[in-house]
Structure 1
Amino acid sequence: MHLKTQDKVMNNVRYPVIDWFRGFAILLMVIYHLCYDLDVFGYIDTVFGTGYWVPFRYVIVISFLLLVGLSLQFVHYKKINVKNVKVRTLQLGLASAVVTISSYFIAPQKATLFGILHLILLASWLGLLFINRPKLSAIAGTTIFALGHFVETKLFDSNWLHWIGMVEYVRPALDYAPLFPWFGVVLWGIALGYVIQCNVFISRSLLNINVTQSKFNSFLNWAGKHSLIIYLIHQPLMYGVLMVVSG
């Protein structure tokens, strides 16, 4: 089914279930960072970057980026929503700057030069080239994801090119989410969004999912709608509380 037949179904649609999933991803991220902070202050003893923490982080990052791709397809499928692009660029640009600047004060040797917010900002521009192109999105996404995981070269080791990925030397950073492989996941989200939009049954089924049937689900739905501000404040808040409690 072509998207034109979906206009009555898709016009000005916001899927509550997408907000719920984004809220769930935020919850997982808060849990991850809370465990990290508890380890820093000596309340638990674990080694991040090894064992189950690796797939746990992958689940969080992939969830966020798939939802970024879905949202891009849903918002811009008729035509590029210029107002949305401007607002999103301003919000993510300011948020990315806050993350980078604050990281220099917190850990100068591990400053975040290109983290998840920087990636989402760039992906929000580049992804516009793939809207309504599901096959291209799927193929390009898989290629980018594979290259990012299996190719390493010194060409991108410098600070100026580190954001691209495929590096031999991974610079220490509080957060690092390079274009390769992670933009590939955004492209998968765009392709998935197109598939959802082209299927009336799937679209209406998602719309009919009740995500407010409990207080917990309502909370996740709310968190998904305010994910950016939660992302910015949760870590300083938790770290500050633990610092006070630890005396």
Structure 2
Amino acid sequence: MNNRDHSLDLMRGVAILMMIAFHLIYDLNEFGFTDIPLTGYWLTTYWRYLIVFLFLSSVGISLVLAYGQQFNIVKFSKRMALLGLAALAVSLGTYLMFPNAWVYFGILHLIWASCLIAVPFVRVPNASLLIGVVILGLGYFNLPDLSFLRALLSNNLPNASVDFYPLFPWLSLVFIGIFLGHNPWHKKIITYRSTFTQYLGQHSLLIYLVHQVLLFGLVAAIYTLTNL
């Protein structure tokens, strides 16, 4: 019996498509093909926020689906090991490509840490919602982002990073996702079905790891060919 949450797969798939489009524009900008503002412009800023919301809230929903009835330490450990290796691969790859702006706490690092923090709350949706709202609210008071990596290793970390998502306030979206996992409004809102988009959602980690390498390589190749 197939127990997959197809609405969740579609939700992640839409986030993947939006992310690919965002990064494609970034690459085109880098090589001078386009000049579309991705920072400092409200439309692209909220576009990025929407992508992150879809990804992180889906993490919370996934935690409920996987561990809401019974917590399996072996299953969770394997999942965390895979995610941790993926995050390390991103750090290593970006360190080699962008030594002055490598990723030391990007979206995968955030998801890894958030899962560790949030998984004990998978059976308490109302408390999770409260925690999420409080964390989100505190962000408006400009509290420190509590990036322990920067505090401990500030002398060895770059001043900038091509992908940086601190625990606060982004952890809040995982807790809100736990609430949504117990109150699956996404199933009522996302009723459309797309086999292709759902497939992307089912393989979101792999696509996340390889998409930018392929996009950057493709745009770089086109740039080289057009400037021969």
Most deviating of 140-149 and 118-127: 140-149
Match of 2:86 among 81, 95, 100: 95
Instruction: Name the counterpart of 1:179.
Output: 167
Instruction: Name the counterpart of 2:32.
Output: 42
Query: 1:53: Cα distance to partner?
Result: 1.3
Query: 1:161: Cα distance to partner?
Result: 5.4
The question of whether the paired residues in 2 share the 8 Å contact of 1:149 and 1:181 is answered with no
Provide closer, same or farther for how the CA distance between residues 160 and 219 of structure 1 changes in structure 2, counting only shifts above 3 A. same
Aligned residue-pair number:
219
Query: 1:155: Cα distance to partner?
Result: 7.6
Q: Does 1:143 align with 2:134?
A: yes
Q: CA-to-partner distance for each residue in 1:180-229, whole Å, 9 max, x for gaps?
A: 00110000000111123xxxxx79x66x9562xxxxx1110100000001
Q: CA-to-partner distance for each residue in 1:25-48, whole Å, 9 max, x for gaps?
A: 000000000000000010101232
Q: Does 1:81 align with 2:72?
A: yes
Instruction: Name the counterpart of 2:210.
Output: 233
Question: Over aligned residue pairs, what C-alpha RMSD do you find?
Answer: 2.5
Instruction: Name the counterpart of 2:57.
Output: 66
Distance 2:147 2:73 in 1: 32
Provide closer, same or farther for how the CA distance between residues 234 and 134 of structure 1 changes in structure 2, counting only shifts above 3 A. same
Unaligned runs of 5+ in 2: none
The question of whether the paired residues in 1 share the 8 Å contact of 2:64 and 2:123 is answered with yes
Overall identity of the aligned pairs, in %: 35
Give the TM-score of the pair, scaled to structure 2.
0.88
The question of whether the paired residues in 2 share the 8 Å contact of 1:119 and 1:179 is answered with yes
Instruction: Name the counterpart of 1:32.
Output: 22
Q: Which residue type is aligned with residue 180 of structure 1?
A: F
Q: Does 1:245 align with 2:222?
A: yes
Q: Which residue type is aligned with residue 210 of structure 2?
A: I
Q: CA-to-partner distance for each residue in 1:154-179, whole Å, 9 max, x for gaps?
A: 9869723599xxxxxx9411101111
Provide closer, same or farther for how the CA distance between residues 91 and 190 of structure 1 changes in structure 2, counting only shifts above 3 A. same
Most deviating of 23-32 and 152-161: 152-161
Give the TM-score of the pair, scaled to structure 1.
0.81
Distance 2:58 2:131 in 1: 17
Q: Which residue type is aligned with residue 171 of structure 2?
A: F
Distance 1:184 1:154 in 2: 12
Match of 2:178 among 175, 179, 190: 190
Q: Which residue type is aligned with residue 53 of structure 1?
A: T
The question of whether the paired residues in 2 share the 8 Å contact of 1:156 and 1:162 is answered with no
